[in-house]
Amino acid sequence: MITHLQDTVMLNNGIEMPGFGLGVYKVDDGETALFSVKTALKAGYRLIDTASYYKNEESVGQAIKESGVPREEIFVTSKVWNNQQGYESTLKAFDESLKKLDLEYLDLYLVHWPVTGKYKETWRALEKLYADGKVRAIGVSNFQVYHLEDLLKDAKVKPVLNQVEYHPHLTQEEVKAFCEKKNIQLEAWSPLKRGDLLDEPVIVDIAKKYGKTSAQVILRWDIQNKVITIPKSVREERIAENADVFDFSLTDEEMKKISALNINDRKGPNPEDY
Q: Could you list the residues that contact ligand NAP (CB under 6 A)?
A: 23-25, 49, 112, 141-142, 163, 189-195, 198, 213, 215, 230-235, 238, 241-242, 268
CB of 78 to ligand NAP, least distance (A): 10
Q: Which residue is nearest to ligand NAP (CB)?
A: 23
CB of 53 to ligand NAP, least distance (A): 8
CB of 273 to ligand NAP, least distance (A): 13
- Alpha helix ranges (H) inside the chain: 31-43, 57-67, 87-101, 119-131, 145-154, 173-182, 201-210, 214-224, 236-243, 252-259
217 — phi, psi (to 5°)?
Answer: -65, -45
CB of 238 to ligand NAP, least distance (A): 4
Q: Side chain identity at 199, as an amino acid letter?
A: D
| Among 54, 109, 119, 166, the one annotated catalytic | 54
Beta strands in the chain (DSSP E): 8-10, 16-18, 22-23, 47-49, 75-80, 106-111, 135-141, 161-165, 185-189, 228-229
- Comparing CB distances to ligand NAP, the nearer of 101 and 153 is 101
Q: What span, in angstroms and rounded, lies between the C-alpha atoms of 67 and 61?
A: 10
- Comparing CB distances to ligand NAP, the nearer of 129 and 230 is 230
249 — phi, psi (to 5°)?
Answer: -135, 140
- Comparing CB distances to ligand NAP, the nearer of 6 and 268 is 268
- Comparing CB distances to ligand NAP, the nearer of 107 and 241 is 241
54 is catalytic: yes
Which residues are catalytically annotated? 54
